[in-house]
Structure 1
Amino acid sequence: MSARARRSWRRMRPAPATVLLLAVGLGIALATGHHSEPGEVGRQPVAAPPLTGTTLTGARFDLAAARGHVVVVNVFASWCGPCREELPLLVETARRWSPQRLQVVGLNLRDGPDAVRAVLKQTHAEDLTVLPDPDGTRAVAWGVRGVPETFVVDRDGRIVAHQAGVVSRQWLQDHLSPRLESG
């Protein structure tokens, strides 16, 4: 090995140690700084972000005015296959538990009104209250990372459960029943 190559090698030797040190530090930081999602075991409820606007039917919706109700906020899009699959379950859930003061609200992400109306008709979910979010700003405020995502907001306006991905009948039962029976 030439003298020049040895000098280059010496300069490079600290690099693997530095990379290893950074990787270990990052791993420790991530492990100790883990933030659980709302609804995870041990997670305290957090205040729901504001959610207001005009629904697809022209009515006014304001989550703050729904205090005293349990509210399911489902973020969906017409182009999302799993979202389409869960829409009928959400409508069924709203019908079943609305006498116990449950409201189900769809937050539609980045669709035009015609696309939303079409998917609601195709899935027999025309009764669902839908708040359009054409630019995604409302979803961002809620910390949405993809669709579908569902949040349960308790009677005091706090997010008490969160599901990234499709909700099941059992998930809804587990998270809604205790809150609706106690109120």
Structure 2
Amino acid sequence: MLLVVAVAAVLAAGLRAGTSSTSGASGPTPAPELGGTTLDGGRFDLAEAHGQVVVVNVFASWCGPCRDELPLLADTARRWSPHGLRVVGLNLRDGPEAVRALLAETGTTDLTVLPDPDGTRAVKWGVRGVPETFVVDRDGRIVARQQGVVTRGWLDQRVTPLLGVA
């Protein structure tokens, strides 16, 4: 119960804080562990994605801005996956039916989604609210973070240099 209260407090504070972006101003930091069974029954492990650039987006079905940015994230995954990009959604505090309905509604059923029903993974990542997005470089370090909605420009500016494409 205490963990649920702590997660709720962290997320509430983050939602009040607004949006901000960091690009590793204090330098890249090692990404926390992230892995497990995906919504579609597959497996994802960030440690096994070493050598790829990974965008981790924390979202929830009850978050309007999350709903708006999911198509952009799916499009980014389709566009840059041949160059070594993975986009992973970390779904916060939802049941599988709600997530599947959201993905179907937004046309993003091809996204890799890890459920985080109790918020413990989000806490390990230091998530302050939803949506929140992290860019992990090929060496497993967080090099950029966006609290709030990402844009195509933000993604292109932070991801394409890591992929070595123009």
Q: TM-score, normalised by structure 2?
A: 0.85
1:57 alignment partner, SS class = coil
Counterparts of 1:21-170 in structure 2 under 5 Å?
38-40=22-24, 42-170=25-153
**2:135 maps to amino acid:** V
Equivalence for 1:22: none
Moved beyond 3 Å, runs of 4+: none
Q: 1:38 to 1:48 in 2, by over 3 A?
A: farther
1:72 alignment partner, SS class = strand
Report % sequence identity: 71
Per-residue deviation, 1:128: 0.4
| C-alpha distance after superposition, 1:76-117 (max 9, x if no partner) | 000000000000000000000000010000000000000000
Q: 1:37 to 1:83 in 2, by over 3 A?
A: closer
**1:100 maps to amino acid:** H
Distance 1:78 1:119 in 2: 6
Would you say the 8 A contact 1:38–1:45 is kept in 2?
A: no
Per-residue deviation, 1:39: 1.6
Per-residue deviation, 1:38: 4.9
Per-residue deviation, 1:37: 7.2
Where in structure 2 are there 5+ consecutive unaligned residues? 1-19
Q: Does 1:177 align with 2:155?
A: no
| C-alpha distance after superposition, 1:126-160 (max 9, x if no partner) | 00000000000000000001000000000000000
- RMSD of aligned Cα (Å): 1.4
**1:47 maps to amino acid:** P
Distance 1:174 1:101 in 2: 16
**1:148 maps to amino acid:** P
**2:75 maps to amino acid:** E
Distance 1:93 1:85 in 2: 14
Would you say the 8 A contact 1:50–1:63 is kept in 2?
A: yes
Would you say the 8 A contact 1:39–1:160 is kept in 2?
A: yes
Q: TM-score, normalised by structure 1?
A: 0.78
- Please identify the structure whose Cα radius of gyration is greater: 1
